[in-house]
Amino acid sequence: MPEQTDPRIHDLARDGLLNESAEELYENAPAAYFSSLPDGTLVRVNETLLRWTGYSRREIVGRKRLHDLLPPGARIYLETHYAPLLQMQGEVREIALELVRSDGSRLPVLMSSTLVRDETGAARIVRTTAVDASERRSYERELLRARADAESRARAALALERVAEGVLLIGEDGEVLLMNAAAEAIFGVNAAAAIARPATEALAGWLDVVSRISTAREGEALAAEVVPVQGRGGELWLSVAAAQAGAATVFTVRDVTGERRLDEIRSDVIAIVSHELRTPLTGAFGAAQTLHGRYDDLGDEQRRRLVLMIVDQCDRLAKILDQILLTSQIDRNGLDPTLQAFDCTEVVDAVVRGVDAGLRHRIVAETSAGVRIRADLDRLRQVVANLVDNALKYSEGAVRIAVAERDFRARITVADDGRGIPAAERDRVFEKFFRLDPVQRGGVGGTGLGLYIARELTQRMGGRIGVLPRERGATFFVDVPLANDI
């Protein structure tokens, strides 16, 4: 059977295109070939290298070293990496370098070299191939850029996750696109559970936010607004700013509930204090004016009553100021109690003696002598006096003070038959400025500091204070340690 030859090969042979000499293949290969001495001196180069670099054979062969075809930075690389590798391995493959053309422009190449040694092992010649890597290099540069981008994005994501403020990205249709850890904490929801869902569904109180916040357009200054929001765990105050971010909106959210509460307390303090100071001052001032303007018209008895009124009102003023001072001392962690052992009855007697019950009240002391306690006498007297004051303020009729021993403690109780304290408020009555009747409908005045001071002083003495549940009236108790000197 005659040999079957591909007819295309036959055609190429007929036209002389297969008569390629090795020389022809070397000179015009699609890669640059060159040979150099171990020191880099170029001794033979192909046409492709000349074409690529723009040099003539005469300019290069025997005159230039490989170093001269490289930019300075790459020369260092050649000396510190390429040459040592070649010496140690006998070959180097695919090293990315740039050739500098005669006009100074650069051609990215991938170079591979083989070191030829003679029989004594001496390095004689280095054969190198360089392929054009322009496209590959720009692709690699893209990769490097992509890597730098990815890194900077990762940094931005980390910053977003760690920033103290809540950040949310809400899409055009109101869906949650992104929320950071701080936002998760504020709304009490996992990002995973919220993302892609409508914000108004996923985030408690979101409707309150979007209905009140205006979105800053690009270039507009961001202004944060504080809005009350009905969150999962109760009312929150959020400081929110919104800015357009492409088609979406980015919200920055800060929980300012704590600060808001402080603000409220501060304005309460001013209102309460000015009111509380104003009332006795008005009383004293009125009495003084009457005395001054109509002194001669008044009888002795009337004058005596007016003077007494001035004294009473000034006494009340002084007490209020004392309470405020005491509170500020407590808040600054002052007031270390001086503990000593004494008979509890002394305290109760002192209080009963010091209180002016007036016509509406009766104070009944039910004490049995001999209950020795360990406390600060002055502070404990203040505590009991505050409780009695409180009872007098909120009730009419009898106020009972009792002392009893109980579980190695002395319990002092102060009971009234007033309107009592709802169960939910039993702890809160000891909070600073807390008042059962904030608008004072019942005409009951007070700074809201008496019970707070009582609790703080009791705790500093190692005691406990509280309200006992009762159907009618209120019973406060103070437990203090017994003296162990018996």
Q: How far is the CB of 25 from other proteins (least distance, A)?
A: 25
In which element (H, E) is residue 233 found?
none
Residue type, 164: A
The candidate with the shortest Cα–Cα distance to 364, out of 344, 393, 383, 392, is 392
Residue type, 78: L
Interaction between residue 225 and other proteins (CB under 8 A): no
Interaction between residue 87 and other proteins (CB under 8 A): yes
Interaction between residue 381 and other proteins (CB under 8 A): no
Q: Which of 57, 137, 409, 426 binds other proteins (CB under 8 A)?
A: 137
Give the SS3 label for residue 223.
Answer: coil
Q: Which of 20, 24, 59, 140 binds other proteins (CB under 8 A)?
A: 140
Interaction between residue 76 and other proteins (CB under 8 A): yes
Q: How far is the CB of 66 from other proteins (least distance, A)?
A: 11
Q: How far is the CB of 177 from other proteins (least distance, A)?
A: 22
Q: How far is the CB of 124 from other proteins (least distance, A)?
A: 12
Q: How far is the CB of 19 from other proteins (least distance, A)?
A: 36
Interaction between residue 94 and other proteins (CB under 8 A): yes
The answer to whether 276 and 445 have CB atoms below 8 angstroms apart is yes
Residues 414-453: x/- map of binding to other proteins (CB under 8 A)? ----------------------------------------
Radius of gyration, CA atoms only, the chain: 47
CA distance linking residue 172 with residue 177, whole number of Å: 10
Which tokens sit at 397? 């009729």
Q: Which of 30, 72, 233, 299 binds other proteins (CB under 8 A)?
A: 72
The candidate with the shortest Cα–Cα distance to 478, out of 467, 469, 470, is 467
Interaction between residue 146 and other proteins (CB under 8 A): yes
Cβ-based neighbours of 60, under 8 Å, separated by 6 or more: 42, 45, 49, 50, 53
Residues 335-374: x/- map of binding to other proteins (CB under 8 A)? ----------------------------------------
Site stretch for other proteins (CB under 8 A), options 69-77, 168-176, 286-294, 304-312: 69-77
The answer to whether 375 and 339 have CB atoms below 8 angstroms apart is yes
Q: Which of 67, 101, 419, 460 binds other proteins (CB under 8 A)?
A: 67
Give the largest CA-CA distance in the chain.
Answer: 157
Residues 109-128: x/- map of binding to other proteins (CB under 8 A)? --------------x-----
Kindly report the backbone phi and psi dihedral angles of residue 302, in degrees, each rounded to the nearest multiple of 5, phi listed first. -65, -45
Closer Cβ to other proteins, 123 or 404, answer by number: 123
Site stretch for other proteins (CB under 8 A), options 23-31, 67-75, 355-363, 444-452: 67-75
Interaction between residue 100 and other proteins (CB under 8 A): no
Closer Cβ to other proteins, 113 or 252, answer by number: 113
Task: Count the Cβ atoms, other than its own, within 10 Å of residue 104.
Answer: 8
Instruction: Give Cα separations from 386 to 315, 383, 451 (angstroms).
Output: 15, 5, 7
Interaction between residue 209 and other proteins (CB under 8 A): no
Closer Cβ to other proteins, 65 or 464, answer by number: 65
Q: Which of 10, 51, 124, 147 binds other proteins (CB under 8 A)?
A: 147
Interaction between residue 283 and other proteins (CB under 8 A): no
Count residues binding other proteins (CB under 8 A).
Answer: 36
CA distance linking residue 276 with residue 435, whole number of Å: 13
Instruction: Give Cα separations from 81 to 33, 100, 129 (angstroms).
Output: 21, 19, 17
Closer Cβ to other proteins, 45 or 86, answer by number: 86
Interaction between residue 153 and other proteins (CB under 8 A): no
Q: How far is the CB of 111 from other proteins (least distance, A)?
A: 10
Interaction between residue 89 and other proteins (CB under 8 A): yes
Q: How far is the CB of 10 from other proteins (least distance, A)?
A: 41
Interaction between residue 39 and other proteins (CB under 8 A): yes
Site stretch for other proteins (CB under 8 A), options 50-58, 88-96, 224-232, 279-287: 88-96
Instruction: Give Cα separations from 52 to 110, 121, 258, 385, 436 (angstroms).
Output: 14, 34, 73, 104, 94
Interaction between residue 107 and other proteins (CB under 8 A): no
Closer Cβ to other proteins, 13 or 143, answer by number: 143
Q: In the Cβ-directed half-sphere of 343, how many Cα atoms lie within 13 Å?
A: 8
Strand order in 361-366's β-sheet? 361-366, 397-406, 409-415, 475-481, 464-468
Instruction: Note the helical H segments in 28-133.
Output: 47-53, 57-60, 72-77, 83-89
Site stretch for other proteins (CB under 8 A), options 35-43, 279-287, 385-393, 452-460: 35-43
Which value, to the nearest 10 degrees, does the dihedral of the CA atoms of residues 360, 363, 364, 366 take? 160
CA distance linking residue 244 with residue 218, whole number of Å: 6
Which tokens sit at 376? 């600060």
Q: Which of 27, 31, 77, 341 binds other proteins (CB under 8 A)?
A: 77
Site residues, other proteins (CB under 8 A): 38-40, 65, 67, 71-77, 79-81, 83-85, 87-89, 91-97, 123, 137, 140, 143-144, 146-147, 150
